[in-house]
Amino acid sequence: MTPSWNLVEGDEIVPGLTAIKLLGGGRAYEAYLGWDDRLFAPVVVKIVRPDQVDDPVAMRGLARETDMIGRLNHPVVVRGFRAVLDGPRPHLVLEHLDGPRLSSLIRRNGHLPVHQLLPLGLEMTSALHYLRAVGVVHLDVKPSNIIMGSPPRLIDLSIARSADSAAGLTHVVGTDAYMPPEQADPQRVGIPGPAADMWGLGATLFEAAAGYRPFADGVADEEAPLAERFPQLVHPPAELPPSVPEPMAKPILACLEYAPADRPTPAELADVLEPLVDLLPKPLLGGFKPRI
């Protein structure tokens, strides 16, 4: 069992921060919904797990995410408030976003209707256009890293890097099912960069539109050959169902082109998606206005 702080409602995380409930976590960190006395508001507190506090890799990851959060300021990207990188419970305080993860909606409903899919795509192009402009690559765009609020928000910058740092990757970083070829095999395929995030967005929109992923699951073994672990290295994406209109299907599939240079930029994708909004009944859009 992964070591946990086992905090329950009312427990003090650190002075000024009180736990409300566990939200989840990964190998090195766990996240709690908490109450921040200084902000006088609920927040998300990302804490290094107790067995990882002395692990330099986990601590470098928290420091990198803290630095990245501090550099960014965009309405569709999660905000950070402060961090403590030493002491018994190193942690990062993030804004609490109200809404389900996109991955939860897909599991619950099977897929999103077009009137939700289009605004989602346009909001994410806004975020990725901004990241591209400031020289940052997220490297983990996927349904579980999107909170479906108003607007949808891109979260989890734990593996985000500067474009220069991403270009220097020689090892696999990211989530297997949403990873572009150049991120899955950077030494052979190419240089991970902003186009990698467009692949992640394409895979995300594909799954949101279809209810299934564009590629079959690979072998869940880090020692397996890359072609077995990452079907996207050797196979084309699946077909979208006929229920997805061709004007929507075509740009989604364009994001899943094997070569990074063949994928649209965020602004180019927005230029294709925005006219489609005018074809939808206005009551369904709820006052949505594209940002780009």
Encode pLDDT of 253-268 as tens digits: 999 999 999 999 999 9
pLDDT at 287 over 60: no
CATH topology of domain 12-95: Phosphorylase Kinase; domain 1 (3.30.200)
φ, ψ of residue 105 to 5 degrees: the values are -65, -40
Which residues of the chain are in CATH 1.10.510.10 domains?
102-285
pLDDT for residue 288: 59
Average pLDDT of the segment spanning 140-145: 97
Q: Which of 180, 111, 125, 176 is nearest to 154 (CA)?
A: 125
The catalytic site residues sit at 140
pLDDT > 70: what percent of the chain?
Answer: 96
Domain boundaries 102-285, corresponding CATH code: 1.10.510.10
Reported as half-sphere exposure (CB side, CA atoms, 13 A), residue 82 has a value of 8
Listed in order, the ranges of the chain carrying CATH 3.30.200.20 are: 12-95
Q: What is the mean pLDDT of residues 196-205?
A: 98
pLDDT of 193: 96
Rg (CA), the chain: 19
